Structure 1
Amino acid sequence: IIWYVLFHVLLFISVLSLSSVHGQVSYSIPEEMVKGSLVGNIAQDLGLDIKRLKSGKARIYTGDSAEYIELNKERGVLLIKDKIDREALCGPTTPCALHFQIILENPMEFYTVTVEIIDTNDNPPIFERSEMKFEISESAIAGARFVLDRAIDDDVGVNGLQSYSLKPTDNFVLKSQSRSNGVTNVEMVLQKPLDREKQEQISLILTAVDGGEPQLSGTMQILITVLDINDNAPVCAQAEYKARISEVAPKGTVLTTVSASDTDEGSNGRISYSIPKSGAARLFEVNKDNGVVNLVGFMDYEKTKHYQIDIEARDQGGLADNCKVIIEVTDINDNPLSITSVYQM
């Protein structure tokens, strides 16, 4: 097997030594173009004759990547072979591009082609659940904060999530805070005291909007039950916790323990810990009683090197505080070297 690999490597090097990269060209196309759509006139852009494409048995080489683009040698053009979903191809990574080569024989020639996939506004912001429920004491003071679920928008740039709004605003205002990693945390802040005797149930609508044309949006209902007398909110012992975990750590690995205190007695002083719904919530869980944070999914350093999760400490009366846990994923050498050979029989 070793001699077989060495043979192909040497053959690949010898082919490269007898050939050269003769040119390169770049295109930009929107995602979701239908099959057969024109990407570009590759023959014209590279200065190639169509006869040369045919005699040289021109073909596309993508390595191990899927082929989304095909070459029509009769017309000398590149066409869409399979509809491209930018979000499926690249996720949040920008720019998103396909890289491949046009190879011709007799003599061997290489041409490098890059096709950038431009995002279209084909995904609205969405909330993972349709409603959130809060139980808030009428004794909650102005400035009390309540963490809300973030919306998720698979689009990027201006087509991605841009802002939130909360209506009506009789008792609460919305506060957004952008973090260094680009994630925006959303909180509902009490600005006017609640009066259970006047209004026991409150219904609000949280709306998330993107910046595309046309503008798309998603909504979540917030249902609030006003409770009597709970005059102390939980207080987290730390605003921020840090943890480090190997990308091969097994499920059940303990990352850290968060804690909060509440000076109230009975049910009003009993604290439950939870992770608001988010993309990272499926990888981690917190014990609702003791605040121990465990791994419940699988890490992949090559995909994500850092995670930030919000932990909410809520008492039985509906008051809450929150802290964040910043998790660093350490790399393990789990990706073998990949060697691709191109040779001419």
Structure 2
Amino acid sequence: MMKLTRSLARLQRAFVLGCAAVLAAQGALAQEAYPSRPVRLIVPFAAGGTADVVARVVGAKLGERLGQPVIIENRGGAGSITGTDAGAKAPADGYTLTITNGAAVTTGPLLGQRMPYKPLEDFVHVFLIGTFPNMLVVRTESPAKSLQDFLARARKERNGVSWGSAGVGSAGYLAGELLQQLAKVPMVHVPYKGTGPAMNDLLGGTIDAMLTSPAVAAPHIRSGKLRALGVSSSKRLSDFPDVPAMQEVVPGAVGDAWFGVSVPAKTPPAIVERLRAELERVLRAPELRSQLHEAGLTPAALGPVEFEKFLRQEVAKWTPVIRTANISLD
């Protein structure tokens, strides 16, 4: 009888300890419910650019949805590689997000850039925020009144027409190279260290044309200094309904840039899904969509599966363009 009593007592103690362990674990999980502290959003560009504007607009709304502030951290350098690398190497706990773009994920490796990370393997690409095209612009006194005129002149000129971009490998440069290859016309590319110097030379008459974002070109178009000949999007922009998509004249000449949100690989699937769902809800807000529109973006709202498919399509698209032009930044 005494032995039975002792056995029951041991079982009772084990049961109590087991319940306590379960309750402690539940309490710990409750305390660590994601997110329990501020979230960092790395922007791999300097403050003030399009990526920074997009990050701050989206980050503010995402913070409201998560119930924690989203803190923007600008880490520019090496054409967005420095900041993206920091994002790839951050703890995979959902507290560090990164604004990713083509130069850091798809076209950069194709251009021979030495990546300190693996663009597709070292990230979970959570959400494609949106895409934005480049616009081909000339001075208003240019004899080219249309894209057809511009291409006809390029075919006639012995040395081709000159066009500028923010630099070799930039979205504007790739869109121009694609147009040149598909239209089979000789054009002279003049690379600049940034959009500002290129625009100054275009306005000053040093180069004939430029491919840049509509947001950059718009003030000069409205002031009457520049004329838009085409956009690299798949269809016309609502703000410029009279400007044709370049592919209306040259089929396939679609070269949009993009911005997305990514997290380090091995981030727990539940956190990835929470971020995807909240970002999707954020992009449904009419006010935010309007703000993105003002920044020149067309919202895309693609989750991880569709986003990764998009990235692989981008690699497949730009590989032959870059190889044909023999472009390398190495």
Pick the TM interval, shorter chain: under 0.3
**What TM-score comes out, normalization by structure 2 length?**
0.23
| Larger Rg, first or second structure (1 or 2) | 1
Going by fraction, where is strand more abundant, 1 or 2? 1
Going by fraction, where is helix more abundant, 1 or 2? 2
Higher relative contact order (CA 8 A, sep 6+): 2
**What TM-score comes out, normalization by structure 1 length?**
0.23
